[in-house]
Amino acid sequence: MLTAASLTAASLTAASLTVASLSRSQLATRLAGPGLAVRTGPFASRIRSTIPQVADGIELLYGAYPLLGDEDFADFHVGLRRPGGLHRWYKPQVSFDLDGLVPFEPLPEAHAFPMLEWGLNWCISTRAHAYLMIHAAVVERDGLAAILPAPPGSGKSTLCAALVHRGWRLLSDELALLRPQDGLLLPVPRPVSLKNRSIDVIRAYVADAVLSAPVSNTTKGTVAHLKAPAASVARAGESARPAWIVFPKYEAGAATSLETIPRARAFFRVADNAFNYSHMGASGFATLAGAIDACTSYDFRYSDLDEAMAVFAALEAPQ
Amino acid sequence: MGASETRWCLRPGQHLAYRQWDGECVLYNDLSGDTHLLGDGTIELLLALRRGPATREALAAVLQAEFEIDAAALARETDTLLEDLRHLYLIEALAC
């Protein structure tokens, strides 16, 4: 019989384990049964699936993440399943669900792992309203963070992937979470989503890059996910102070340039990239205004990653 | 009561949460949930109304104290600002 003391010990043991402590068979059993509960920054997700590509992606990219127990609380209960119907026999598909809700149309089964990543982003961006959420990459060095808000196609993820392999810590490739209480950024270090030509760019730029198998013909073209640095995952509990807001724009052949943006203009451009600025009302205003106060904002154009790294290395802490 | 005697005030519920940077002002509208980009003159006028209701003439004097502006332009600018702010639900005219 378990006593309270042994339960506590069991919980502590479970909390110190990582996904890598599971064998492939144990991982598949959890995914097929009670679900694999894993912590990514402030969020815990319980994932259920019998689709091999999901287990493949998790095994390759989520080894360093804290593993939670079967009874632990999870913010998101998600599943990736094969829907019924004739498709399953001649063109297998995968559907994503959150607490039984199916928010998206099914995708080809080969897209299962990208769908998990997109689905987890969707869970956070539609529900985590305790934070001001900006569609942005976030990287940190010496306690100061750079927020990189940008629409798809701007080269944000490529830049982020390169930075986190040149001395910067990954907080997120997709979501800047600003905490209204203190204005600090909370990390959600998950795999970095790379698309199309960026996949080969990062393969060439990062010698030890661990990437999931590219999946072609998705709505975003060919996608692959880059494993988050283990050191960033290990520091997922450490918040960071915003210091720079950098709007990146990749342009083939462009000279590297960094131009200051007036604060009021930067305010509106960041708000345009926020998921829930309007939803948060006055709290969203105060949180974003605090970030704008704390940061210097820039437009950044680049075509050469080495030059881009040099510009970031030379960023000075705001006064 | 003539237009010159009309008193203007902030709409109840407006807290004037704002930031001023480099000659521009960003203000949160508590009633509409919108965020506005305002010039410095506009926020000076709103801050004057935070102290209490005021006539058009008193508000024009606030603008004149802040900016070098001739009488005709001052009158036009004051009327335009008051009308714009009324449309944004930031201010209203008191009934009497």
State whether residue B22 sits within 8 Å of chain A by CB. yes
Could you tell me which chain A residue has the CA closest to the CA of B38?
A264
Residues of chain B contacting A292 with CB distance shorter than 8 Å: 19, 21
- Residue B19 placed within a domain: yes
Q: What pLDDT score does A89 carry?
A: 63
Residues of chain B with pLDDT under 70: 1-4, 96
Q: What pLDDT score does A12 carry?
A: 41
Closest partner CB to A264 (pick from B26, B28, B33): B26
Domain spans of chain A?
Answer: 10-127, 132-313
Q: What pLDDT score does A13 carry?
A: 44
Q: What pLDDT score does A152 carry?
A: 80
- Residue B24 placed within a domain: yes
- Residue B5 placed within a domain: no
Q: Answer yes or no: do B35 and A271 touch at CB < 8 A.
A: yes
pTM higher than the cut 0.90: yes
Q: What pLDDT score does B3 carry?
A: 55
- Residue B96 placed within a domain: no
Q: What pLDDT score does A85 carry?
A: 67
Residues of chain A with pLDDT under 50: 1-14
Closest partner CB to A262 (pick from B22, B28, B33): B22
Q: Residue B76: give the domain boundaries.
A: 10-91
Q: Answer yes or no: do A281 and B33 touch at CB < 8 A.
A: yes
Residues of chain A contacting B37 with CB distance shorter than 8 Å: 264, 268
Q: Answer yes or no: do A268 and B35 touch at CB < 8 A.
A: yes
List of residues 6+ apart from A185 with CB closer than 8 A: A138, A140, A145, A147, A171, A176, A177, A178, A179, A239, A240, A241, A242
Number of domains in chain B: 1
State what percent of residues in chain B have pLDDT above 70.
Answer: 95
- Residue B71 placed within a domain: yes
